[in-house]
Copies of this chain bind each other. A is one copy, B any other.
Amino acid sequence: VSRHAKSQALFERACKVIPGGIYGHKQPGFGLPGSAPYYATKSEGARFWDVDGNEYIDFLCGWGPVVLGHAHPAVEAAVREEMAKGTCPDLPGPAMVNLAEHMVDKISVADWAVFAKNGIDVTTWAIRLAREHTNRPKIVVAHGAYHGAAAWCTTHPGGVTEEERSDVLRMTFNDASSLEKLVEANPEQIAGVILTPYHHPTYRPQQLPDDDFWSDVRRICNRAGIVLVLDDIRVGFRLAKAGSHAHFAIDPDLVCYSKALANGHPIAALVGRQKMAAAAERVFMSGTYWFSSAPMVAALTTLQIIERDAVPTKIAVLGERFKSGLLEITHRHGTSGRVTGPPCAPYLTFDEDPDLFLNQELSRELFAHGIYLHPHHHAFISAAHTEADIDKTLEVVDHCLPTAIERAASIKRNWP
C-alpha cells in the first residue's frame, strides 16, 4: 500500500467536485505529485501529520504564517477567549484599536495601521493609496516578484485583461538603474514602487539586497515623488521583530504584513507614514470579515511573544545551524549546494542544477523520511523548531542526498 493511499483517495474524490482537486499554491503540481502528501489532518509545533498518519518535521510553516509553531497554546487560548464573544460582530471591537496602537508603537514607519484578511487585500490597498496620493496611474514591480493573485500583479494571466495590467511596469530587483530608466521614460506617471525586502522569485535562488539598492530606490522615489511600498508579507516579524525594513535599513512609505503577523490566523495589515493618511481616508476598502476581533487578538499576542522571546534571533540561530549544516553536507557529497535568503527563510539550490531535478529528488526522499522541505519554495523556520529538529533533518539529508544525486543524474541522462 502506498504511503499516500489516503491522500490519493481523498484527492480522487476532490477532483470530482473541485477543478484540479486542489488549486492555487497548494496544487500538487507545484510540489511532487505522487510523492508528496496532499492532505494534512493535524499540525502542532514544528510537525504535521498527513491524512495517512505520516509525521513530518515541517519546514513550510503553513507557507509562512506559523512563526511560533502550529497551534501555539497562548495564541490559541487568546483566540478561543475572543471567539467566545462572537466571531462576526456588527461593529469592530477594542482589539482593533489595541492592535493598531501596538503596531504604531513598535514599527518605526507606522504612523497608522489598517487591517484586512489576505495579503493581496493590503498589497492592492497600498497601490491604490499610492495612486490616490500621487494622482498618477503607474505602478512598478520587480520581475519575478509575487505580490498575490490580483489582476495587477498575478504571474498567471488567465482571465486577466491587458487593460487591467496596462499601468504596471517592471524593474529588476537589485538594479536601481532599471527603476531610474522607468522614471525617465514615464515622467510624472509613476505612483508607486512595490518591492519585497529581498528578492524571492519562485524556482530561483533568493537575492538579499545589495548594499546601496534600497538607499538608491529611496532616493529615486524621493526625487520623482513616488510612493515606496514594502511588501513584507513573506518574512515580516519572522526576520525582525519590528519588521524587515528595520533589518535592512529600508525607509518605505507603506508596509504590507500578513503571514507571520498572527501565527496562522487570517489577517493582513497595511501600515504607513502620516503623509499617506489622507489618501487612506479617501480610498474605500472593506470586507465582511475584516473587523473580526479574534485574528486581531491573535496578532497582538503573536507580536508580544515575538518580542518577549526574541523569536527572530532564536529563529536566525536555528536557520544558521540549518544553513551551515546543509552547506557542509551538500559540499561533502560533491555538489555545489547553495543556501540563499535570510536564515529564517532559507532556500537550498544547486548551481549545477538550475532545473531543480536534484531539489525534486531530494525532497522526494525527504518526504518519505518525514521531512517536509519543499523543492520549489524556500523553507521557513519557526520558534517551535529545536536544535534537535535541525540536527535530525541534517542527518536525514545526509542519508538521502546520495540517492537523490544518483536519481537526478539518471533523469538528466534520460531527458529527451
Known contacts A101-B17, A158-B282, A163-B166, A26 near B291 by CB under 8 Å: yes
Inter-subunit contact B39/A92 (CB<8 Å)? yes
What CA separation (Å) do A348 and B282 show in the bound complex?
30
Known contacts A100-B18, A287-B149, A128 near B62 by CB under 8 Å: no
* Chain B contacts for A24, CB-based, 8 A: 284-287, 290-291
Known contacts A65-B88, A88-B66, A159-B131, A13 near B284 by CB under 8 Å: no
* Chain B contacts for A164, CB-based, 8 A: 151-152, 163-164
**Which of A44-52, A178-186, A242-250 faces chain B?**
A44-52
Q: Is A104 at the interface (CB under 8 A from chain B)? A: yes
| Interchain nearest-CB distance for A190 vs B (Å) | 13
What CA separation (Å) do A286 and B118 show in the bound complex?
10
Inter-subunit contact A60/B90 (CB<8 Å)? yes
Q: Is A58 at the interface (CB under 8 A from chain B)? A: yes
Q: Is A120 at the interface (CB under 8 A from chain B)? A: yes
Contact with B along A1-30 (1 / 0, CB 8 A): 000000000100110111110111110000
The A104-133 residues at the B interface (CB cut-off 8 A) are 104, 111-114, 117-121, 124, 127-132
* Chain B contacts for A263, CB-based, 8 A: 87-88
What CA separation (Å) do A79 and B120 show in the bound complex?
25
What CA separation (Å) do A283 and B112 show in the bound complex?
35
What CA separation (Å) do A289 and B148 show in the bound complex?
12
